[in-house]
């Protein structure tokens, strides 16, 4: 039940970069189906810059890592996802005090979702990344309240996000570029919800490795 420290946050970002690069083509294809096809490139490139900056100048606390992620995604990632994930990490940085226990993992994820909602004004059921973050947080909260440690709490979040991403297949998009397709957006998984599931899965992998 080790608390999650700056080394974990750093490892999270390296794993996120690797996982998003591995799934770059899949995210491109998902975004081609209901958007403009740039999501995989945006995410892989953005997190590539993140790890470069982390390697050059590793922050000494979790909040510092999140702040660097936020600044990098804001300045380097175009499209909707850059500002949305950027705002998520700004809020997460503000919520993170010292190392993270399982309650802090929930608080950080809640803060991230708040940032996304403030920025994008989406609610659940609109076929966006909000539909991955919301079940992720519900699952994380349940795990934390059951006395699970931070790694298990992040694993619960990742599994919740992954289920939420799958559930976007049946939804019609009413926010973002995919909403232009109307009913034709139904039947495709949302790219941003999918990248959220990868991001949280990388967090859980790094937390398990830190135990």
- Shortest Cβ distance from residue 85 to ligand ADP (Å)? 9
35 binds Mg ion (CB under 5 A): yes
**Residue 121 Rama label (left phi>0; alpha psi -120 to 50; beta):** left
Q: How many residues bind ligand ADP (CB under 6 A)?
A: 24
- Reduce the DSSP state of residue 77 to 3 states and report it: coil
**Residue 182 Rama label (left phi>0; alpha psi -120 to 50; beta):** left
Contact 126, 175 (CB under 8 A): yes
User: CB count, 10 Å around CB of 97?
Assistant: 12
Tokens of 81: 């996802």
Position among 191, 198, 201, 205 found at the interface with ligand ADP (CB under 6 A): 191
Position among 11, 31, 159, 190 found at the interface with Mg ion (CB under 5 A): 31
Residue nearest to ligand ADP (CB): 192
Residue 123 dihedral angles phi and psi, to the nearest 5° = -115, 180
- Shortest Cβ distance from residue 157 to ligand ADP (Å)? 17
Q: Tell me the window of 11-19, 61-69, 156-164, 184-192 that interacts with ligand ADP (CB under 6 A).
A: 184-192
Burial of residue 101 (CB within 10 Å: 0-12, 13-18, 19+) is middle
CA dist 132 and 168 (Å) reads 8
- Shortest Cβ distance from residue 140 to ligand ADP (Å)? 19
46 binds ligand ADP (CB under 6 A): no
Beta-bridge partner residues of 10? none
String of contacts with Mg ion for each residue 60-99, x by CB under 5 A: -------------------x--------------------
Q: Tell me the window of 9-17, 90-98, 105-113, 172-180 that interacts with ligand ADP (CB under 6 A).
A: 172-180
Positions touching ligand ADP (CB under 6 A) are: 31, 35-36, 38-39, 42, 79-81, 84, 116, 120-122, 128-130, 175-177, 190-193
């Amino acid at each position: 039940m080790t608390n999650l420290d700056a080394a974990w946050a750093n490892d999270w970002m390296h794993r996120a970069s690797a996982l998003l690069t591995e799934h770059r083509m899949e995210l491109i294809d998902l975004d081609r189906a209901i958007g403009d096809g740039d999501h995989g490139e945006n995410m892989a490139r953005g997190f590539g810059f993140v790890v470069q900056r982390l390697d050059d100048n590793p922050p000494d606390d979790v909040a510092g890592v999140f702040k660097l992620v936020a600044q990098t995604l804001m300045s380097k990632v175009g499209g909707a996802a850059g500002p949305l994930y950027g705002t998520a990490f700004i809020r997460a940085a503000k919520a993170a005090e010292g190392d993270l226990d399982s309650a802090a993992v929930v608080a950080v994820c809640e803060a991230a979702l708040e940032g996304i909602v403030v920025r994008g004004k989406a609610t659940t059921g609109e076929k966006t990344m909000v539909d991955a973050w919301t079940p992720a947080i519900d699952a994380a909260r349940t795990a934390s309240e059951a006395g699970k440690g931070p790694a298990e709490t992040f694993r619960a979040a990742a599994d919740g996000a992954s289920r939420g991403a799958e559930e976007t297949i049946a939804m019609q998009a009413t926010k973002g570029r995919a909403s232009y397709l109307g009913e034709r957006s139904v039947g495709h998984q949302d790219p941003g919800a999918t990248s959220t599931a990868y991001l949280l899965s990388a967090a859980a992998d790094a937390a398990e490795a830190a135990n």
